[in-house]
Amino acid sequence: MKKNILSEIKKRIQKANKILLSTHIDPDGDTLGSMLALHLILKKMGKKPTMFSGDPVPDIYRFLPSVKLIKNLASPEDFDLIIALDAGSLGRLDPIFKNSGPEKIVNIDHHSDNTRYGKINYIAKVSCVGEQIYALAKHLKVSLDKNIGVCLYVAIMTDTGNFKYDNTTAETFAIAEEMLKLGVSPDKTANAVYENRSWPAIKLLAAALENAQSTAEGKIIYTVITKEILVNTAAHNQDFTGLIDHLRAIRGAEVAILIREDHEKNRVKINFRSKSYVDVQKISKELGGGGHSRAAGAIMHGDLLQIVNQVVGLTTAAL
């Protein structure tokens, strides 16, 4: 099954003249690491892929090889193949793709609620898309090197929360082992991503913890980041990375919820993390979003207080 899909992808890549690779909106370590690794792999095959991310690359990922080649403008109609990485639905891709039919799209993703919007859909139950790019590289018989290794390592490291989420498998460690043998340094890579936080990010974290609320006997921890907090801390989108993990880390917490006002776009973003049994993908779906069973999110519109009540109510009902 997997082999068939990999050969189909291989055929499409070999046939294509102009290949566009894309991250999802608000890019994270998996979508970026996977795109950068795939770009290096395709170059080894003599292809000249273009990399696209509509949203800026967070500072903590700017050390990755070839990151400067990522473009924030592209016209999908100029390409004969589009490879989407780590995007569960067309809506998770930049709006430039909204009229891209399935014909040209290869969809490589690991979200179980993926809407299969591509002509070829390679959906796997693995920790990160990085694992899928690794499998693809093996199938393409492209030899890996340290640069590809560090990109894949970042994809794995970030999507497994440092090899500690329940998506971490023996295969995940086996791939990471191979990356280390290629010369990837686990401490340097982790330092670049995690020990490199900006002051606004720290101030934002302080405000998030200060305002955190506990409900349902401590099983739900939530915090609300208002427009005022964003202005006072000078925090940006990228400064939210990893913040919610501090809420989930609280003893007795099952679900952590981060509710944040996105005043520029007049909407409210909801992020969920659960520790061991609540399916937050299901809750997110009811709110029009999606994700994984232990990490999911949604975008909502309307009155902040009403949204908070609705989100906390739904989560309480799911306990």
Q: For residue 118, what are the contacts with CB-CB under 8 A and spacing of at least 6?
A: 84, 102, 105, 106, 107
d(Cα 72, Cα 239) in Å, to the nearest integer?
Answer: 20
Q: How far is the CB of 189 from Mn ion (least distance, A)?
A: 17
The residue among 86 and 254 lying less far from Mn ion, judged by its C-beta, is 86
Q: Which two tokens stand for residue 256?
A: 């952590």
**Does 86 interact with Mn ion (rule: CB under 5 A)?**
yes
Q: How far is the CB of 159 from Mn ion (least distance, A)?
A: 5
In the chain, where does DSSP find H-type helix?
2-15, 29-44, 129-140, 146-159, 170-181, 186-194, 199-210, 227-233, 243-248, 280-286, 304-318
The residue among 295 and 307 lying less far from Mn ion, judged by its C-beta, is 295
Q: How far is the CB of 207 from Mn ion (least distance, A)?
A: 27
Q: Which two tokens stand for residue 49?
A: 């892929």
- The CB-nearest residue to Mn ion is 30
**210 CB-side CA count, 13 A:** 9
Q: How many residues bind Mn ion (CB under 5 A)?
A: 4
d(Cα 182, Cα 184) in Å, to the nearest integer?
Answer: 6
Q: Which two tokens stand for residue 28?
A: 């994270």
**Residue of 33, 16, 124 whose CA lies nearest to 70:** 33
Region from 27-35, 94-102, 208-216, 258-266 binding Mn ion, contact rule CB under 5 A: 27-35
Region from 16-24, 154-162, 191-199, 204-212 binding Mn ion, contact rule CB under 5 A: 154-162
Q: How far is the CB of 217 from Mn ion (least distance, A)?
A: 32
Q: Which two tokens stand for residue 94?
A: 């930049």
**Does 30 interact with Mn ion (rule: CB under 5 A)?**
yes
Region from 71-79, 122-130, 163-171, 221-229 binding Mn ion, contact rule CB under 5 A: 122-130
Q: How far is the CB of 240 from Mn ion (least distance, A)?
A: 16
Q: How far is the CB of 232 from Mn ion (least distance, A)?
A: 31
- Residue among 94, 113, 159, 254 that touches Mn ion (CB under 5 A): 159
Give the binding site for Mn ion (CB under 5 A). Answer: 30, 86, 128, 159
